[in-house]
Structure 1
């Protein structure tokens, strides 16, 4: 009943959906050059042979699936990767291995969904995390596409919401033959909502290799920063940049030449962030504007896409954003994988199990507020031995968690093994 209502609304609401998409396009949230893909009109031919379709909503989901995508391509399979955001599309263009291609996921309106599936005809679909598009899932299932949920995630808040429509979520999840959850808690919540064969083999974010960087640019910036005490605030959200500026101001006299690196989670905010920090009396350089990183620069705002690997290599001390001024948290595994001394605030709700494991292993330190962040950064800048100890603990923990990819691939092996026969079906 609920799904039929949803299908009817998305069909009759075509004009409103069109207006909404046009508004997003004007705001830069849709890719004008590839907008037809969002309407189910493909930009590339379908490769011959079996096709595995991997869907991740945005940057985090798609990046977590990269190691698995590489394994699939290593088996000689064609892989179609879909995401919904402009940033994720750009990253996938840079990071996808040979044998994989990217398209934008169609908007969940039946006409677009059918056009997309008519063209791509996937044999197996791997959906990441928690983006359940009803029309896309139902039509895929109707056409005989085998569905697997990978990196399944249902937060306690989402779980409470889904429980208000139990029949609807049960029907959505029943289309998946296998549900591989990120954590044991996610597996329990998925099972309670009706997901078949829900279990946890580990978090694929643990299998992600170190983020890449440009070696030449790394050497250039190392030379530019030589001799300066440095710390990094990564993936920051509104309000956190000012807090980091306050940390800088509190420590600048104690550590002459202190350089604070800030990488906003959303690069288009870079100019706004730089202007805000300049109003505080700080000397700020904006990377996207090619402003030079000079000896007098207090804060370097790196508002570029795909360069976190570069800045994690430049800073031993890293604060992970969206954990102080805003809740939820960003992925702390990435800086730990680079062997950084990791700090984060108390609001890491998106990564509860990961955060607990990191704290237990001594691989990260939680700070309660801006004052505690100042004390933590200052303490690490003053104590090189302590910093090296945290760096080593972080790296050792990430390496110990790296076996999850083999477990996930083994669980998928029965489905992957029969793809040739399924592809030959009428």
Structure 2
């Protein structure tokens, strides 16, 4: 198929924009502590050698959630393909740090190259992937077409696009067909997205429903030393956790905690905002609420009425301290965060009603009794109070969470097998 005008126009525009994008992105990565050499991976300059033997499978994800979601899958594929090596690319410094601490065997991370001829050609010349798997909505025109032109087998995994994106692709049928035809397999999160991909002119015979890969992630890591210190500081006090909260949600959580302290005076709240750089602002909210607090970034231990856990990568440790977890990003129309991580820790997931990013996971967990939906501060306080008072109900919900996580294992193996077959990776 000949390249549509919009594609050719983007190629020309990208060549002009690359110097400006490189300057902006390099500065951003440098401010986040990334070395100059690694920042230049955005321009296609690799900092790791390509493995000399065995097929190379490239996974491209956008940021933290997408990157972490594929690590368990890479592990399963690695077990089935002992000669294969894996490359995972993403765009943010945070994703690079978190992925680096959890890389499966035979896997390296690089920053994704810009969607422009020079960076992509350098990247593809070096890595020469045998297969490429793009995650969720990572539809970069030149990245797709140039990878396809090199002969790599390709898949779109965990496909999820917004209603606005779907409408936009439907208005550009030539460009949509030109891009989506590169995929040998498109696995979507649900039936509705599968129908949408076909409506967006993806090849119908290559589209199938998969699963929400984020509900298959590996258990969050636990720092055993930090966990021991926190447990010692808290002694036998009851604990609940509010994690991944966004601006406008901490007030609701703190109001619920204030209400709970009237009937549970020793209750401790661990508050872990989604963006730790908001720590100072959240600390002011705690002060305004009239609650005492200690703070992780000050090197302090839990012990006051609230512990502000304003760091990255430690949620697994905090989840291990309690069995009631409220997940933010859900009291406002943000889309919610991953309840599967909570279930893996053996805790009960509470969430607001806005969970479009994990509809299927929440539906299944609520039905199983492993998660509950709350609508406001009063409802949140009442639900936590009920669980604190009813040990049997709490134990039943925790058992449901464990059963739910165990039921997902076979699905991840199925996805790995489908990808290996579609991408012709089997020995």
Coarse TM-score class (shorter-chain normalised) = over 0.9
Superposed displacement of residue 398, structure 1: 2.2
Structure 2 residue matching 1:176: 3-state secondary structure? coil
CA RMSD after TM alignment: 2.0
User: Which of 12, 18, 43 matches 1:14?
Assistant: 18
State whether residues 72 and 79 of structure 1, in contact with CA within 8 Å, keep that contact through their aligned partners in structure 2: no
Tell me the distance in 2 between the aligned counterparts of 1:257 and 1:324.
Answer: 26
User: Of 229, 233, 242, which aligns to 2:251?
Assistant: 242
Separation in structure 1 between the aligned mates of residue 332 and residue 188 of structure 2, nearest angstrom: 29
Q: CA deviation at 1:395?
A: 1.9
- For residues 163 and 369 of structure 1, what CA distance do their matches in structure 2 show? 38
Residues 31 and 3 (structure 1), Cα distance of their counterparts in 2 relative to 1, 3 Å cut = farther
Tell me which residue corresponds to 2:74.
69
Listed as ranges, the matches of 1:280-295 within 5 Å are: 280-294=289-303
- The structure 1 residue matched to 2:9, chosen from 5, 10, 24, is 5
Deviation at 1:316, TM superposition (A): 0.7
Distance 2:425 2:403 in 1: 38
**TM-score, length basis structure 1:** 0.92
- C-alpha distance in 2 between matches for 1:157 and 1:27: 33
- Is 2:365 aligned against 1:361? no
Q: Is the 8 A contact 2:238 2:267 kept in 1?
A: yes
- Say if 1:51 and 1:123, in contact at 8 Å, map to a contact too: yes
Aligned to 1:261: 270
Q: Is the 8 A contact 1:40 1:114 kept in 2?
A: yes
Q: Secondary structure at the match of 2:151?
A: coil
d(CA) in 2 for partners of 1:215, 1:190: 44
Cα displacement (A) at 1:418 = 4.8
Helix, strand or coil: the match of 2:398? helix
With the length of structure 2 as denominator, give the TM-score of the two structures: 0.92
Say if 1:274 and 1:285, in contact at 8 Å, map to a contact too.
Answer: no
Q: Give, in whole Å, the separation in 1 of the partners of 2:226 and 2:316.
A: 11
Partner deviation per Cα, 1:126-175 (whole Å, 9 max, x = no partner) = 11111111111111111111111122222434323332323222322111
Contact kept, 8 Å, 2:73 with 2:412, in 1: the verdict is yes
Deviates more, 1:401-410 or 1:227-236: 401-410
- Matched-pair contact (CA < 8 Å) for 1:155–1:186: no
Comparing 47-56 with 409-418, greater Cα deviation is found at 409-418
Structure 1 residue runs of 5 or longer lacking an equivalent are: 421-426
Q: 1:163 aligns with which of 164, 170, 177?
A: 170
Partners in 2 of 1:7 and 1:360 — Cα distance?
48
* 4+ long deviations beyond 6 Å: none
SS of equivalent to 2:356:
coil
2:193 paired residue among 176, 186, 191: 186
Number of equivalenced pairs = 418
Aligned twin of 2:59: 54
